[in-house]
Amino acid sequence: EGAGAGRDIGGDGIGPDVVAQAVRVLTALDLGLDFAEAPVGGHAYRVAGHPLPPETLALAARADAILFGAVGDPDCDGLERQLRPEQAILGLRRELGLFANLRPARLFPGLADASALRPEVAGAIDLMIVRELTGDVYFGTPRGRRTTADGLREGFDTMRYDEAEIARIARLGFETARGRRGRLCSVDKANVLETSQLWRDVVTEIAAEYSDVALTHMYVDNAAMQLVRAPGQFDTIVTGNLFGDILSDQASMCVGSIGLLPSASLDAAGKGLYEPIHGSAPDIAGQDRANPLATILSAAMMLRHSLGLADAAARIEAAVAAVLASGARTADLGGTIGTAAMGDRVIAALAA
C-alpha cells in the first residue's frame, strides 16, 4: 500500500490519515520508490466484499515491502468472524509468513513528561519486543462456539506452538539481543501453560548457540509489573503472539503514547509489512487528530529492513527526534498540532 492520497490507502479509521503522512515523508526523500495501493479491512469489505481481497493479497505478495495503516471498524463487529476487518491483517501475516514482529520502544528526548511513568523511570527505556506473529492462540485450532450438553453457550480457542515455531523466533530474539545490549528476556506463563513450558524449554536449548547473550525468563504477569516498575532493566524481550500484543501496548504508554510505536513484521527472507502498533482509533478518525509518527517511524523501519536504505531510515528517525525535541506535539501527547501539520514538521526537519 502507498501512493499519494488515494482512496484505498491505509485501511480503516485513522489508517488513511497516518499512512498519507508517511507516504509524504517517503516521497520527500526522493528515493525512487514505486507505490501501489490496495483496499484492505472494512473499507475493502465495502468496496470488494472481503476484508482481504485476492488482488490486495497478490499485490502485497509481489511488493518488496508493505506499508500498512490499520484495520477495524465498529460497524463491522457484527459480521461473521471471517469477514471482519481484523482478518485482513491476520491473513496478511499468515499468508506472507510474517512470523516475526519487532516492536521497539524508547523514550525520545524531551518526552519524559509525556510518559505515564515518572520521568526518571521513563528515561531509562530502550527496549525491543520480539513478538511471534503467526502462531499461538491467534491461530490454534480447534476454536469456535458451541452449546454444551447442559445447554450453555461455550467459546473455545487453542493456544499452541510447535518447537520449530518457537526455535525460529527464539533465534531472532537472540540475534536481536546480540545487536543491542546482549540481554534477552523470554516472557511466558510456564508456571501454568503447557505451551509456555515448551516455549521455555526450547528457548533454553537455543541459548546454547548464543553464549554471548545473557538469557533470563520471566512470567508475563511479572513482566507487566516490571515494565512499569523498572522498564530500564529490559533490553530485548522475546515472547508469544498474545503476550507480545498486550505488553507492546503497555510499553507504548511508558514512552508517551501508542501513537509513537512502529513495528516491522518480517518473514524468513527479510520481506516485511510495516505498521504502527495502534489500531484504527475510530474515536478520532478523519479529524486530523491522530499522531502519524508511529507510521512514519514504521516507514523508516521499512527502508532499513526491507529496502536496504538504512541512511534514509536514520534521516527519518533523526527528523522525528528533532521535531519532538522542538516541543511539537499531537493531541495524544498533550499538544495541539494536527496530523498533517505533524507530517509537515517532519518533512521540514528532513531538509534541515
**Which helix (DSSP H) or strand (DSSP E) does residue 314 occupy?**
helix 310-325
The residue among 316, 294, 330 whose CA lies nearest residue 114 is 330
Pick the catalytic residue from 17, 188, 245, 332.
245
Q: Which stretch binds ligand IPM (CB under 6 A): 48-56, 83-91, 163-171, 193-201?
A: 83-91
DSSP 281-295: -TTTTTTT-S--HHH
232-264 residues labelled b (16+ CB within 10 A) or e (exposed): eebbbbbbbbbbbbebbebbbbbbbbbbbbbbb
Q: Is 86 in the site for ligand IPM (CB under 6 A)?
A: yes
Residue 291 contacts which entry, Mn ion, ligand NAD, ligand IPM, none (Cβ below 5-8 A, type-dependent): ligand NAD
Whether residue 206 is annotated as binding a ligand: the answer is no
User: Cis bond leading into 119, ω under 30°?
Assistant: no
Q: Is 138 a catalytic residue?
A: yes
Q: Give the count of beta carbons closer than 10 Å to the beta carbon of residue 229.
A: 11
Q: Which stretch binds ligand NAD (CB under 6 A): 26-34, 121-129, 190-198, 273-281?
A: 273-281
Taking the complex as a whole, how short is the minimal distance between the CB of residue 264 and Mn ion, in angstroms?
15
The residue among 135, 138, 183, 130 whose CA lies nearest residue 163 is 135
Q: Is 1 in the site for ligand NAD (CB under 6 A)?
A: no
Q: Which residue is listed with cell 471482519?
A: 84
**Residue from 19, 89, 133, 300 in contact with ligand NAD (CB under 6 A):** 89
Q: Which residues pair with 17 in a beta bridge?
A: none
Per-residue contact track with ligand IPM, 277 to 316, x per CB under 6 A?
x-x-------------------------------------
Residues of span 45-74 touching ligand NAD by CB under 6 A: 70-72
Taking the complex as a whole, how short is the minimal distance between the CB of residue 90 and ligand IPM, in angstroms?
5
DSSP 212-281: TSEEEEEEHHHHHHHHHH-GGG-SEEEE-HHHHHHHHHHHHHHTT-GGG-EEEEE-TTS-EEEEESS---
Residues of span 319-338 touching ligand NAD by CB under 6 A: 332
Whether residue 280 is annotated as binding a ligand: the answer is yes
Taking the complex as a whole, how short is the minimal distance between the CB of residue 206 and ligand NAD, in angstroms?
28
* 281, 273 Cβ separation under 8 angstroms: no
**Which helix (DSSP H) or strand (DSSP E) does residue 338 occupy?**
none
Q: Which stretch binds ligand IPM (CB under 6 A): 86-94, 105-113, 151-159, 334-342?
A: 86-94
Pick the catalytic residue from 126, 249, 267, 344.
249
Q: Which stretch binds ligand NAD (CB under 6 A): 31-39, 93-101, 193-201, 283-291?
A: 283-291
Q: Is 90 in the site for ligand IPM (CB under 6 A)?
A: yes
Taking the complex as a whole, how short is the minimal distance between the CB of residue 294 and Mn ion, in angstroms?
12
Segment 2-10 long-range contacts (CB within 8 Å, at least 24 positions apart): 2/26, 2/33, 2/35, 2/36, 2/37, 2/67, 3/35, 3/36, 3/37, 4/35, 6/37, 8/37, 8/38, 8/39, 8/40, 8/43, 8/47, 9/37, 9/69, 10/68, 10/69, 10/70
**Residue from 37, 235, 275, 317 in contact with ligand NAD (CB under 6 A):** 275
Residue 253 contacts which entry, Mn ion, ligand IPM, ligand NAD, none (Cβ below 5-8 A, type-dependent): none
Q: Is 245 a catalytic residue?
A: yes
Show binding-site residues for NAD(+): 279-291
Show binding-site residues: 93, 103, 131, 221, 245, 249, 279-291
Residues forming the site for ligand NAD (CB under 6 A): 14, 18, 70-72, 86, 89, 258-259, 275, 278-284, 290-291, 294, 332
Residues identified as active-site: 138, 189, 221, 245, 249
Residues forming the site for ligand IPM (CB under 6 A): 86, 89-90, 245, 277, 279
